[in-house]
Chains A and B, each alone.
Chain A
Amino acid sequence: MDASTATLRRNSIDVAAARRRCLGYRRRILDISQQVGALHIAPAFSCLEAIDTIYHELMRSRRGHSSQDTFLMSKGHGCMAQYVILEDHSVLTSDDFALYCKPGGRLGGHPDYGVPGIEASTGSLGHGLGMAVGMAYADRLKRDDRTIYTLMGDGEMQEGSIWEAFMMAGNLRLNKLVAFADVNDFQGLGRTSETHPFFYPVPEKALAFGWDAAEVNGHDHQAIFDAVAGRRTDRPMLVVCRTVKGKGVSYMENVPIWHYRAPNPTEYQQAIDALAEVSS
């Protein structure tokens, strides 16, 4: 029994610890927003529990860059969620954040290949899943026992390249590929459920392409973990995470401007004061 199997055979995870971690990550992201305004807070807050679960409970090493498994942030603009977790794992440093989006720094507004813990560059939407398919196929060819995790946004899933990747992953039966959809129902010009009503139900789309699929509350660590632990092992898996954009800061939740805006000092203090552990 390898480490992965051992991890996935556990029935429960320490949800209280996970919630405490995510509270700290949200605080850290808000702190960074007072240093540089160029960051996407709400998109990071919607997928934070999913990425926390991936790094802490699913991947077989807690050291991002030395991990046996891989995580690709296909939804690149949500990278602040990945950055703070990599900092927590000592893969990135506080110095990296001090120079975030500044000359001489190595962290930018989207993940960049070559930065420790970042295994592919993303930012333009619709690229991560395709590269994840290639990685999963290469691992099979090389008999490397790795699992590839990737996270997409729901708006991102309107890209045709995503569905080319879905089709090939199904065709190739890439059973070491686990994709997450951060379905926060918001994109640039409105609610996804209003602009693209036939996108739903999402799991059925993946099932039709030969994937396994489950839909969970995307802020529920245990539900996310259980979905992956209980997946079919003969095909790729999509975990559809129903989430709230800006989750954790009430005035940001489902308010489109917080896709890219940073809070002013008053708003920052208000957010810090009101921030609490997110419960499912």
Chain B
Amino acid sequence: MRNNFAETFFEASKRDPRLCLVVADISPAGAIDKFRNEFPDRFINTGVAEQIMIGMCAGMALRGLRPFAYTIATFALFRPFEMIRDDLCYQNLPVTVVGIGGGVTYSTLGGTHHAQEDVAIACALPNMTVIAPCDPAETRIATQWLTTQEHGPVYFRLGKAGEPDLTGNAVDPWEFGKLRYLSRGRDICILTYGPIAKMANDVADAYRAKGRSVSVVSVHTLKPLDVEGIVRALHDHEQVVVVEELSPYGGLGPRVKAIAWDTKARCRLDTFALDDAFHHVYGSHAEILAAHGLSRDKIIERLG
């Protein structure tokens, strides 16, 4: 994902001299290095100092530039939170905050590196847009959109690297603010976002093997949420499942439940999220998700 972001950002930067990258000592990967070499003045490394990373982005945006702040998700969002709130959101400045390793992607680094609340926190901010693509191709399209948007701050939640392609045969094109059906069925609808969409796909395949017709939807734009799309999904399927790599508070699951209540949806609704806990375990990304109760088999077991 991060390489697709970097490649796309680099290409866009050739066309728009306002695009700048402000990083906080994150090692330049792939095309980020190309951007740095090609546009050294537009690449700023603030070092291990995230508050000035966001403060500088705000000042640059106030002068008409289009900066992207870029570092590991915990440090991109949590450490400089008040700068994001006051400098970016309160002033409604077009700055993109790129968080690498959203959720528990950094599975060997412990809880200090787990952004398991990031989407909830970002969605709580007025004026903030929140986008979390599910695979490298979706990252590319979303990045293209981000490099041309002018309307305000965005939190862009990415995974890391090596995510599988999930959108090659998607039913819908990527459109900002709209649900994207990757596959369309009649019985079950799985709403998901980010790299955990792979697990959602695996769950869908298991139900298809049992003869069920399953939709899988990338809810890549968490805010503004496609409420109409959610309502349709709730009313067009007999069962809706939300699978997200986020704390159980403030994410997609609670939003869908609220919408279901408000619209008197009659479908069965199940939500799956990370535990409300710091698990002191290490291993692969899948192993940390499993420690939070998230795996294909555990979801199927709970769904019955």
Contact = CB atoms under 8 A, between A and B. Distances in A.
Given A120-B62, A164-B49, A168-B46, A131 B55 contact: yes
A165 interface: yes
Contacts of B108: none
A177 to B, nearest CB: 10
B82 A124 contact: yes
A164 B55 CA distance: 10
Interface in A123-169: 123-124, 126-127, 129-139, 141-142, 144, 160-161, 164-165, 167-168
Contacts of A88: none
B56 interface: yes
Given A141-B42, A164-B46, A133 B86 contact: no
Interface residues of B, number: 28
Contacts of A126: 51
B269 interface: no
Nearest to A167: B49
Interface in B24-46: 41-42, 44, 46
B62 to A, nearest CB: 6
Interface string B58-94: 1111111101000000000000001100110011000
B87 A131 contact: yes
A141 B52 CA distance: 18
B51 A138 contact: no
A141 B67 CA distance: 12
B63 A130 contact: no
B63 A135 contact: yes
Residue from the set A127, A134, A144, A165 with the largest chain B CB neighbour count within 10 Å: A134
Interface residues of A, number: 29
A120 B46 contact: no
A133 B49 contact: no
B64 A138 contact: yes
Contacts of A139: 63
Given A124-B86, A134-B63, A141-B41, A168 B56 contact: yes
A133 B91 contact: no
A119 interface: yes
Contact of A130 (B20, B44, B59, B64): B59
A145 to B, nearest CB: 13
A120 B56 CA distance: 12
Nearest to A128: B55
B57 interface: yes
A130 B80 CA distance: 12
B56 A137 contact: yes
Contacts of B61: 134
Nearest to A142: B63
B62 A161 contact: no
A7 interface: no
Contact of A161 (B52, B59, B60, B67): B52
B52 A168 contact: yes
Given A142-B64, A161-B83, A127 B55 contact: yes
Contacts of B67: 134
A135 B59 contact: yes
Contacts of A124: 82, 86
A118 to B, nearest CB: 11
Nearest to A144: B63
A218 B281 CA distance: 56
A126 B42 CA distance: 25
A133 B65 contact: no
A165 B49 CA distance: 9
A108 B54 CA distance: 25
A137 B52 contact: no
Interface in A214-237: none
A169 to B, nearest CB: 9
A232 B64 CA distance: 28
B60 A134 contact: yes
Residue from the set B42, B52, B83 with the largest chain A CB neighbour count within 10 Å: B52
A260 interface: no
29 contacts: A113-B90, A119-B62, A120-B58, A120-B62, A120-B91, A123-B86, A127-B55, A127-B82, A127-B83, A130-B55, A131-B56, A131-B58, A131-B87, A132-B59, A135-B59, A135-B62, A136-B59, A137-B56, A138-B60, A138-B63, A141-B42, A142-B63, A160-B51, A164-B55, A165-B55, A167-B49, A168-B46, A168-B52, A172-B44
Interface of A: 113, 119-121, 123-124, 126-127, 129-139, 141-142, 144, 160-161, 164-165, 167-168, 172
Given A121-B90, A133-B56, A142-B65, 6 more contacts: A120-B87, A134-B61, A134-B67, A137-B60, A164-B51, A165-B55
The 4 tightest CB contacts between A and B, nearest first, are A134-B59, A130-B55, A138-B63, A134-B56
